[in-house]
Amino acid sequence: METTLRGVGVSHGVAIGEVRHMGTAVLEPPAKQIPADEAEREQGRARQAVEAVAADLIARGNLAGGEAQAVLEAQAMMAQDPELMADVERRIAVGSTAERGVYDAFAAYRALLAGAGEYLAGRVADLDDVRNRIVARLLGVPMPGVPDSDEPYVLIARDLAPADTALLDPALVLGFVTEEGGPTSHSAILARALGVPAVVALPGAGELVEGTVIAVDGSTGEVFVDPSAEKRAALEQAAAERKAALASSSGPGATSDGHKVPLLANVGGPADVPAAVEAGAEGVGLFRTEFLFLDDSQKAPSEEKQVEAYRKVLEAFPEGRVVVRVLDAGADKPLDFLTPGDEPNPALGVRGLRTLLDHPDVLRTQLTALAKAAEGLPVYLEVMAPMVADRIDAKAFADACRDAGLRAKFGAMVEIPSAALRARSILQEVEFLSLGTNDLAQYTFAADRQVGAVSRLQDPWQPALLDLVAASAEAAKAEGKSCGVCGEAASDPLLACVLTGLGVTSLSMGAASIPYVRATLAKHTLAQCERAAAAARAADTADDARAAAQAVLSGE
């Protein structure tokens, strides 16, 4: 009998196939005491396992490339954390086996993060994955990971660690469903990059029986268990129509009456560029530069290395627009040489621009490298700062850009409600705004973007969030300047129309989403988008806002 479940759709498309569950390692090794003379040997085993897992994560990152590489390298740094390793060795010294020492040390760190309610609690899934990989290696059991199968399937998991998501084979994994996670979690972002339909935050997903046929709609968040032949046919027809619409859509982003909305790509480095070019991106709306700094947590990359990496991206978009975000370190992206390790709440502490202003030499080197990378190229370079709170922040960043001799537009990211509320003030110092809707939602609703339990508050359709977007866009229009969206909200085709109606001047997203957004925008006039935006803002809930916009755009 067909039943319908609903989670949060995070990656477009329809997948129909049999359920396969994610394999897991043995989570808790036996507790037994070892003689004192075996401690040194066990400590050596622990160190070897940690280094092997870190090397494996880095190798997976090299294979995956792009944004996935940065995520996996961050996990490798987590595995090699010196304080964690010191705790492991202390536990072994008083009688624990290597695997038990690892398990208990990671458990203590996990409890510390979760209990403190810190932003880093959103990385618990990543921490658990690292622990399981180390323990599995020490116990000699299979690593956690996707199941072996010769036939395509739909993957079910409690959550997916980046190491699993990054190397999913779309030819075998038709789609995936998780019990936890949120619309802006690492897994969701990587799923969109892969073009794999995905639904997260689905209660009871783990109870789906192995081999059961399900249909996953990554756009609506619906999961149909044992779908009828009629339902399967309807879903397949809708998917086919969507695919045909994508194939017929090309060229610059615009509404049906010719209002231009440049569609740009979010990239993590040179490896992401080919997919962006293939999707017809009109430039880059968010070049995350963190990937370059994650290679070595002890020091910043040299100016020469930065110039080389930046130039590869800039060269890919001759006469196009490339918006570079300077290093966003802190919170979930700690770097030993920059971020303090004892902050009680890193997400509300020294993060982003605050970190760079505390280390002006790192900021200056990056800005100088960007200036050199752009020399002689016809690209339209724009550089923006993360986590700008007010005009003082904006002025400090603009002054740093001028002092470094950077010939580009300077901008500010709107990720903090204060920046949206005082956007006109900030625009006295910079030339454009870019809305990072992921963090803006997190800070607006006090809802960690990695925690599935508060996923409804991370929904970019929340009317309060749309109000902040509108305030920013209206301020930019009043100042004669631009206001783009580079957060994951831009990847939702229906929401892209609403954002356009709110006055947003460009949309940036993962490359896989560009064709969907281009095709949907082309179906509607600017006036329809404006009416949909007004209807969405008049609603009281995210679901009602979505339904109201859909009704306007479908002519109901």
| Cβ–Cβ < 8 Å for 437, 460 | yes
What is the distance between the alpha carbons of residues 129 and 137, in angstroms, rounded to a whole number?
12
What is the distance between the alpha carbons of residues 449 and 72, in angstroms, rounded to a whole number?
19
DSSP state of 334: -
Q: Are strands 409-414 and 380-385 parallel, antiparallel or unpaired?
A: parallel
Alpha helix (H) ranges present in 359-450? 360-374, 391-403, 417-421, 423-426, 437-445
Looking up tokens 């086919």, which residue turns up? 240
One-letter identity of residue 138: L
What per-residue string of b and e applies to 259-293 under the rule 16 or more CB within 10 Å gives b? eebbbbbbbbbbbbbebbeebbbbbbbbbbbbbbb
For the record, the structure tokens of 547 come out as 């339904």
Residues in a beta bridge with 9 = 199
Helix pair 124-139, 98-116: axis angle to 10 deg: 170
Contacts of 90 (CB under 8 A, 6+ apart): none
486 given a catalytic annotation:
yes
Nearest to 190 by CA among 126, 248, 235, 253: 126
Angle at 394 between CA 390 and CA 399, to 5 degrees: 150
Angle at 485 between CA 187 and CA 359, to 5 degrees: 80
Q: Are strands 213-217 and 14-21 parallel, antiparallel or unpaired?
A: antiparallel
Catalytic residue among 12, 186, 359, 524: 186
What dihedral do alpha carbons 147, 152, 154, 160 form, nearest 10°?
40
524 given a catalytic annotation:
no
CB atoms within 10 A of CB 31: 11
**3-class DSSP state of 39:** helix
Catalytic residue among 486, 497, 524, 529: 486
Active site residues: 186, 486
